């Protein structure tokens, strides 16, 4: 296992072959040596081209995590892709990792995984199974439409060790003209030990990113109600999330949006009784300034306990130089509770990307 901290350079090597395993069969792709697996963000995301971040960071109110750095792990093994089983696409891998994770119940065991994705009869399926030692973890997502206006879906996860796993059910109905209604129930509260999950935080290499599904769902339980419609050229959407104790309504059109959010703060992991409100206005456009072409402008204003406003301008030069200028009147907290913060004041950044 070769790894580096805080830099993308790590040694890896592999060979790939595309062809039929026997005469008359459909061609498959085989990789031997260093492999990279992205079957499931919950149980199968790892490899030479996957950043691994230190475990333990959490999305918090107003504070984005600051990981020590990230690591690339180079696992050797063998993988097969593009295996056709009727309407199901199949992928599988076997990785030689018994010397890296040799603690109970994983001792003296390499890891095997397989993914099935496609349509089976009337069910859309995406199922991943990963086995290391005795436990077998699984991530199974299935959906179907028993009638034209009704979509049903379910999601089931387990680490193969805990008595209870995670699950989510959703029903979406579009039988009312110009409306789409949805009801979701999720329970991601049991403690699971997911060895090869996606560990991406919300702040990576100085930039905000969307946290992975594990981080967005871990520990949450309860009902989610949603509705969306279009009226007079405007899009309207509303959602209530019991686990987060918040309600939000969004109106948008083209390049602007307005959000009203009602929520409860937390103290000592308990929701307080006082309801708070937040109004968020956002807009973006692209324009030319003198000889600088296609500058992207973004602006935001938040009205909660106080008023905060700001924005950014981004320019990418033909030679590849990227320049970003930002200004915010105060620290701007992410209005979706993902832990992002835009720091107060003026900041100018420039970067250059090389591909070789």
SS3 97: coil
Q: CB under 8 Å to 196, separation ≥6 — which residues? A: 37, 43, 44, 45, 46, 111, 130
**Does 334 map to a domain?**
yes
How do the pLDDT tens digits run along the chain, 356 residues long? Answer: 333 333 334 578 899 999 988 887 889 999 999 999 999 999 999 998 888 887 656 665 444 444 456 778 888 999 999 999 889 999 999 998 876 665 555 567 889 999 999 998 899 999 999 998 888 999 999 999 999 899 999 999 999 999 999 999 999 999 999 999 999 999 999 999 998 999 888 877 777 888 889 989 999 999 999 999 999 999 999 999 999 999 999 999 999 999 999 999 888 888 898 999 999 999 999 999 988 999 999 999 999 989 999 999 999 998 889 999 999 999 988 888 777 888 899 999 898 766 65
Report the pLDDT value the prediction gives residue 159, as an integer from 0 to 100: 94
Helix (H) / strand (E) element for 215: namely: helix 213-217
* 137 within 8 A of 194, measured Cβ to Cβ: yes
* 261 within 8 A of 289, measured Cβ to Cβ: no
**Does 101 map to a domain?**
no
Q: Which domain holds residue 300?
A: 245-356
* 223 within 8 A of 184, measured Cβ to Cβ: yes
**Does 235 map to a domain?**
no
Tell me how many domains the chain contains. 1
**Does 1 map to a domain?**
no
* 103 within 8 A of 96, measured Cβ to Cβ: no
* Residue 343, CB-side half-sphere exposure with 13 Å CA sphere: 9
**Does 94 map to a domain?**
no
For the entire predicted model, the pTM comes to 0.84
**Does 4 map to a domain?**
no
Round to whole Å and give the CA distance between 300 and 293: 22
Round to whole Å and give the CA distance between 170 and 185: 7
**Does 283 map to a domain?**
yes
């Amino acid at each position: 296992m070769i790894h580096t901290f805080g830099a993308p350079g790590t040694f890896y090597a592999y060979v790939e072959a595309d062809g039929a395993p026997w005469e008359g069969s459909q061609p498959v792709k085989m990789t031997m040596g260093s492999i990279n697996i992205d079957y499931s963000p919950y149980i199968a995301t790892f490899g030479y081209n996957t950043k691994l971040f230190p475990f333990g960071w959490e999305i918090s109110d107003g504070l984005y995590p600051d990981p020590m750095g990230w690591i690339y792990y180079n696992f050797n093994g063998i993988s097969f892709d593009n295996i056709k089983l009727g309407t199901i696409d199949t992928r599988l891998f076997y990785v030689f990792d018994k010397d890296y994770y040799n603690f109970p119940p994983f001792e003296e065991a390499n890891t095997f995984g397989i993914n099935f994705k496609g349509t089976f009869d009337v069910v859309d399926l995406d199922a991943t199974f990963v086995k290391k030692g005795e436990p077998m973890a699984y991530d199974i997502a299935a959906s179907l439409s028993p009638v034209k206006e009704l979509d049903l879906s379910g999601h089931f996860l387990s680490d193969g060790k805990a008595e209870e796993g995670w699950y989510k059910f959703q029903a979406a109905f579009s039988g009312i003209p110009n409306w789409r209604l949805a009801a979701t129930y999720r329970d991601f509260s049991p403690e699971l030990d997911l060895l090869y999950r996606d560990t991406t935080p919300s702040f990576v290499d100085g930039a905000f990113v969307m946290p992975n599904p594990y981080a967005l769902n871990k520990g949450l339980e309860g009902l989610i109600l949603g509705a969306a419609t279009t009226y007079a050229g405007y899009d309207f959407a509303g959602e209530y999330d019991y686990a987060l104790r918040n309600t939000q309504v969004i109106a948008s059109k083209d390049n602007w949006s307005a959000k009203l959010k009602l929520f409860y703060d937390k103290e000592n992991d308990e929701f307080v009784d006082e309801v708070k409100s937040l109004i968020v206005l956002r807009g973006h456009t692209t324009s030319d300034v003198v000889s600088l072409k296609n500058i992207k402008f973004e602006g935001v204003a938040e009205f909660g306990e106080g008023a905060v406003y700001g924005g950014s301008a981004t320019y990418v030069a033909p030679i590849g130089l990227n320049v970003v200028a930002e200004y915010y009147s105060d620290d701007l907290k992410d209005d979706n509770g993902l832990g992002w913060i835009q720091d107060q004041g003026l900041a100018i950044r420039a970067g250059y990307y090389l591909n070789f």
